[in-house]
Amino acid sequence: MSDVQSTLLRNTRFRIWEPFFWVVPFVILALFPGQSFLINQMAIMALYAISLDLILGYTGIMSLGHAAFFGLGAYAAGLFCIHVSPDPIIGLVAGMVVAGIGGLIFSVTVLRGTHLTVVMVTLGVSLILYELANYLTGLTGGADGLQGVDMAPIFGIFQFKFDGITAAYYSLVVLLVFLFICRRLAHSPFGFSLKAIRDNRLRATAIGISAERRIILIYTIAGAIAGVAGAVQAQSMNFASLEVFSFEKSADVLLMVVIGGTAWVYGGFVGAIVFSGLHHILSDITPQYWTFWVGLFLVVLMRVGRDRLLRPWTWFRRETHG
C-alpha radius of gyration, the chain, whole number:
20
> 149-202: per-residue pLDDT in tens?
999 999 889 999 888 899 999 999 999 999 999 999 998 999 999 999 999 999
User: Residue 83 has what pLDDT?
Assistant: 94
Coil, helix or strand at residue 146: strand
User: Residue 24 has what pLDDT?
Assistant: 92
Residue among 6, 133, 126 at smallest CA distance from 75: 133
Least confident window among 49-58, 94-103, 172-181, 278-287 = 278-287
CB 226 within 8 A of CB 99: yes
Helix and strand numbers, DSSP H then E, in the chain: 15, 0
3-state helix, strand, coil in the chain (%, to 5): 75, 0, 25
Average pLDDT over residues 302-309: 68
Within the chain, what is the greatest distance between any pair of CA atoms? 69
Average pLDDT over residues 144-150: 91
**Calpha distance 211→190 (Å, rounded):** 11
CB proximity list for 159: less than 8 A, separation 6 or greater: 153, 166
CB 132 within 8 A of CB 126: no
Give the pTM: 0.92
Please check the confidence at residue 88 and state whether its pLDDT lies above 90: yes
* CA-CA-CA-CA dihedral for 242, 101, 232, 279, to nearest 10: -60
**More confident site: 184 or 301:** 184
CB 11 within 8 A of CB 187: yes
CB proximity list for 120: less than 8 A, separation 6 or greater: 64
User: Residue 148 has what pLDDT?
Assistant: 86
User: Residue 321 has what pLDDT?
Assistant: 47
Phi, psi of 263 (to 5 degrees): 55, 35
* CA-CA-CA-CA dihedral for 116, 121, 123, 128, to nearest 10: 160
Residue among 239, 250, 224, 14 at smallest CA distance from 100: 224
User: Residue 2 has what pLDDT?
Assistant: 62
Between the alpha carbon of residue 73 and those of residues 85, 121, 154, 223, 298, the distances in Å are: 15, 20, 18, 9, 29
